[in-house]
A and B are shown apart, each in its own frame.
Chain A
Amino acid sequence: MNYMPGTASLIEDIDKKHLVLLRDGRTLIGYLRSIDQFANLVLHQTVERIHVGKKYGDIPRGIFVVRGENVVLLGEIDLEKESDTPLQQVSIEEILEEQRVEQQTKQEAERLKVQALKERGLSIPRADTLDEY
């Protein structure tokens, strides 16, 4: 029952399993236990899910308290459809390894690009040196 129709409220989402995407790119999955007016979240039995390609790995994290401003989006997970995914779950070590490899290739590509631009006398500022907004 939405007490304020036409508005968004997290009250109905309490005690349900959610997927939360944070601003730093992390994906958390957990049971939403508590909220407040800033949309700060308390996640229970949280798992950090790392995706690389078609594989993913879950790292159990316990209880998370997330500051509301760091949440990009969150959505309820349908428990019946949760397992119905083409993605393949792998162990934590494997996924971390995959992630490392992916980061490496990305960095390498970036380095080449920057070098090529430098040779042409152009310089594009790197995203991490820019302001956040």
Chain B
Amino acid sequence: MDCSEGPGKPCGHQIPEKASRIHEEEDTKEEEEEEEEKEENELGDPAVLSAIHGAQRGHKGSPRLKAPSGLGISPVSLHFLCQTMDYLSPISFRSTFPSASSPARHFGPQLPSPDPSLFYSPPASWPPRFSHRTQLHPQHQRILQKQQQEQQSGQTPDPRVGKLWSQKPDPYAGLMNQREKDWVIKVQMVQLQSENPELDDYYYQEYYQKLERKQADEELFGRRGRMESPKLVTPYIQKAEDYESVVRIEGSLGQVAVSTCFGPRRAIDAVSHGSQEQDSAIYNQKLQVLYRIEKMFLQLLKLEENQKGMLAKPYFYELQRKQLEKIYQALRTGDQDNSEEAANGFLQVLSVRKGKVLVARLLLLLPQDQAVHLVLSITSHLPFLIRRDTADQALCMLFKPMGKCINLLAFSELLQGLQGLMVLQPGSQERPITVVLQNQFGISLLYSLLSHGEQLVSLNCSLKQHSSSDLAAWTDMVVLIAWEISHMSTASLAEPLVVPSNLLSLFCRYVDKQIVHQLEARM
């Protein structure tokens, strides 16, 4: 809809029709429809038309406000009410009151005896609809409805309006008639329409969903009497036409500087064109990694969006699984087939802050075996990651999703993870564990691994599920780690994010008193 249209060209039939109802006083239904048709067909100058209408029916301005108050309602609030009610329920109005002459038209000075049910119980077809094309969040509609009811039952006229009314009636009031006001509001509402409200109107949707959730919680505690059934949020109706006001080129990040004859400029591209030749320049490599991350992130966002919106239908689940698989493969292999280089690609992704965010969010969605794979890669390359993270300090965001995955690890996998920490890396003098203990993420990860191992061991001790070699390896690991911790100065030990409660008891069992004492001091 073109915003520059004047109010004289009605876009929907409902609003102009019912708006002119307010203006009429004595016309019959046939005459009304005739006039409206004339209005719509001729599409003449709105000013001329309104002037004609004004001349035909006499001055509208103040007389409307002087309606006799047969119901004991002040004329101002009556005017207010019929404005609001009429505005908010155009279609429902017509359907629920089909009796000969629409009661709305008698809101004028005549006012024989309007239907009291009009004021004291809203028509059954609430929630209100502004136009056939807009749709509010159900929670929003409920709030509006409640406000309406309060207004009707409370019958409190607006104090400001009341004050004004006490003065002389303004002869210039009503220059902007109701139809024009509705038109402005309609135009503003049209701008709110979108095909994807979750994306375009995220805060509005979130706010009303949160409100709904809060009310649902209150219901659970019995504070509210009525049960309000939760409704699905239906998407907005599609726009009639859609034009791209901004030139978008595929593969670019955002808006591209397009060169024209008035402004010759090079288009900026974040994609390196030398990808076929495997250019080994570090800059290109970095760009490649960034590009990979962007692609995977977009896929992840789409996946998360689908998950949020879709119910668990088997077809969609299958589709999602495939998409997830795609992302996982992209993460693992990149362009290479070699597993060593694949791990390299993964680590490169993790070296970038956005890559860490990607992996953190992906870990929550992946199936168990793939998640374990990733977690083990991370633990075996921890020192490298820690070194690369000194600038961002963003590793800690991986802790929570990894923690969740760790709690589901099998004993052998756990051992694998821990062993990765103890192996002396070629080319460095110290064990990885020293680096790990000095880093917050590393030490938290270590503690959660140990805690989970302790849980597994203590649970299955009597069942003898684990092989003796496994248990021996576990014992050795614990002793070694305890030794390392106790021999590290307290100052250089990092502060873990979470200290599991069963660690000390674990150490007590395997290690002698002296070391336990030192461990206590450090933990």
Contact = CB atoms under 8 A, between A and B. Distances in A.
Contact of B176 (A7, A9, A35): A35
A3 interface: yes
A33 B176 contact: yes
A18 interface: no
A3 B87 contact: yes
B151 interface: yes
Contacts, number: 54
Interface string A1-27: 101111101010011100000000000
A100 B361 CA distance: 65
Interface in A50-95: 79-80
Contact of B175 (A6, A33, A36): A33
The winner among B84, B88, B144, B167 for most chain A CB atoms within 10 A is B144
A3 B185 contact: yes
Contacts of A42: 175
Interface string B381-406: 00000000000000000000000000
Interface string B152-190: 000000001001100100101111100011001101110
Interface majority SS on A: helix, strand, loop or mixed? loop
Q: Is the contact region of chain B dominated by helix, strand, or loop, or is it mixed?
A: helix
Given A3-B88, A3-B130, A79-B163, A11 B185 contact: yes
A93 to B, nearest CB: 30
A15 B79 CA distance: 15
B175 A34 contact: yes
A80 B130 CA distance: 35
A129 interface: no
Interface residues of A, number: 21
Contacts of B144: 5
Contacts of A31: 170, 172
Contacts of B151: 1
B143 interface: yes
Contacts of B130: 3
B80 interface: yes
A14 B164 contact: no
B181 A14 contact: yes
A9 B188 contact: yes
Contacts of A16: 160, 164
B84 A1 contact: yes
B310 interface: no
B88 A36 contact: no
Interface residues of B, number: 30
Contacts of B167: 79
Nearest to B186: A37
Contacts of B187: 37
A11 B84 contact: no
Contacts of A5: 140, 143-144, 147
A3 B143 CA distance: 11
Nearest to A14: B176
B3 interface: yes
A105 B141 CA distance: 58
B19 to A, nearest CB: 14
Contacts of A79: 163-164, 167
Nearest to B180: A34
Contacts of B160: 16
A15 B173 contact: yes
A11 B181 contact: yes
Given A1-B151, A3-B87, A3-B130, A35 B184 contact: yes
Contacts of B164: 16, 79
B502 to A, nearest CB: 49
Given A1-B80, A1-B84, A80-B163, A36 B184 contact: yes
Nearest to A36: B184
B163 A4 contact: no
Interface in B435-477: none
Interface string A30-48: 0101111100001010000
A46 to B, nearest CB: 12
A36 B87 CA distance: 18
A16 to B, nearest CB: 7
A42 B84 CA distance: 24
7 contacts: A15-B170, A15-B175, A16-B160, A34-B180, A36-B184, A79-B163, A79-B167
The 6 closest A-B pairs by CB, nearest first: A37-B187, A34-B176, A15-B173, A33-B175, A1-B84, A11-B181
Given A37-B188, A44-B175, 4 more contacts: A5-B140, A5-B143, A11-B184, A37-B184
